[in-house]
Structure 1
Amino acid sequence: MSLKGQLKRQLMGFVQRLQQSEELRLYANRKAHDYDVIRKAGLYQPSPYGEVETPRREGGGQASPIFITGRFRSGSTLLWNLFRNLPGHKAFYEPFNERRWFDPMRRGEHTDTTHRGVTDYWAEYQNLESLTALYNEDWIRYRLYMSETCFDYRMKRFVDTLVSSSEERAVLQFNRVDFRLPWLRANYPYARIVHVYRNPRDQWCSSLRNEGDYPASAMSGSGFVDHFYLGVWARDLVRQFPFLADYDSHHRYYLFYMVWKLSYCFGVHYSDISVAMESLTENPSTCMADVLVAIGADPAILGEADLTFVKPVTSRWQDYADDAWFSRIEQEGEAVIREFFQGVVR
């Protein structure tokens, strides 16, 4: 037998042994959950003896919490900072972030200089070190889609802890729940969700940091620096959106736009209000008044807030490529997404 044949035989034997191993079976089962029918069946019954009953945790006890959802570089930090300046609100910045704002030893001290009016992200996490035992960094890269019936006990406890940690109304600003909104809606039906979005062309340019490193003339992903986890999102979401795998031969704006549009569809569908970053920066008082009405708050509290740090944003996409270039890619992506959502025979 040739060396190639021997290697092939050994490799096949290894794969067969691996398939039969308990370790691989456990790994596969942990990644591919199958409990939707069970969770919907209403099987739970209280213990007949009572001693093992766990006290039921309610959602805060004060006003309903507010969840902000937005993509990276969408204006979500600006919206968080606006709520941070409102009386009666306690705004938590990106709870799932790997910097772990609740851990003084892990979070560091630096802030993004493009975040106007922000000197720290962690003040609201003071005395919440107990979150360390609940936090799971896998939340930033796995199971980025969660349906109504998905189960993550630690994530639920983590969010519960933040919601109930203050007498003020809790505001949680997320950049990683775009496709977990079904789960949030199911687990927090009393919550109000605010969706912020931005022109995808400007958002793309903002995500590059240095546009010259990856120009419009690029023919593939070569030279693209993935500052905001685009590849991570595509790899994890391909199970729900299989067309996200077909991007290798495209300019990366194609993949960016696909994820942006999917996120936008989810945000509009599940949120109480959707707000454009452009509107938020051009007229923050009027825009925030609309947001407050939508979430059941009194717009009069804006009179006590300092909004002077809000400045209009300058559109930059025309410096990157012309309208025809962007439109061609967007139209290609739109055709796929439209067929995905509307092409099912009912």
Structure 2
Amino acid sequence: MPVVTITARAPRITSLHVFCAVLVLAILARPLITEAASAPALRTAATVFVAVCVQALPFLVFGVLLSGVIAAFVSPAALRRMLPAHPGAAVPVAGAAGLVLPGCECASVPVARRLIGQGVPDAAALTFLLAAPAVNPIVLVATAVAFPGEPRMVLARFLGSLATACVMGWLWQRAGRAEWIADRARRGTPRRDGENRWAVLAETARHDLVSAGGFLVLGAVAAAALSVLVPPEWMDALAGQLLLAIVVMAVLAVVLALCSEADAFVAASLSMLPLLPRLVFLVVGPAVDVKLIALQAGTFGRAFAARFAPATFVVAILCACAAGALVL
């Protein structure tokens, strides 16, 4: 009689397990954290950190759930059918599609790759890549909540982000080369017939929540640190030098790499700065940051990222300044 050997599969620790473990440790260590935060500076930092996280978390959760729904139930072919045949006319349509097919920054890169693999013009796919995480209703509502007394910030962010996406699309149409995009990005991704759409939704939402949640915590820590570590006179000096403040906030957006559903609350916490530098922070962040550069290099190739990311950075700053001058 043959002997059947059953091999026990070792439990796999995922990012979700790590995320839950960190939450449990934070709850258990709460008394120690409370005692350590007796200093006024630490209390201020803790208040800023909690305020940013609590305000942004509902929008973050709703955003990743919607991203999961789109990944599971909306095919990239639907956008391809919506686009005009002419690449130049397809660019603004792809930008406007970000309003109805939103997604986070991490999700927009593979969606753009699938669009290119299905024959969508490169310029239109890249426009959608930039527009989807920046002009969708969740981001705009979160911006309105973060800036309750400044409704112009919502319009300025929408105009600046949409202009960035469309300008980069037209710029790629005029100056981009097909060989700058790796061949692997042009190979279509076959759809698995037995794939469970609800499993895709759950996995996409889990992945995006853990990834974006980590960056939200990083942004909240940065906002808390800036509120107590940076002397007020430095911020006053920066506020008085508008050009320098714009450059600093643009670089900060690239380095922090915040999720677009949460970055408005971090920007709102920096109330000592004028609105224009904070608008630049909100327009640049969803368009180009360190995690997006890494994702683009891995998906489309280093040659693409080395050209697309710096150009996007400059265009985003210029479009944000133009939108600010027009609206703010």
With the length of structure 1 as denominator, give the TM-score of the two structures.
0.25
Structure with greater proportional helix content? 2
Structure with greater proportional strand content? 1
Instruction: Between the two structures, name the one with larger relative contact order (CA 8 Å, sep ≥ 6).
Output: 2
With the length of structure 2 as denominator, give the TM-score of the two structures.
0.26
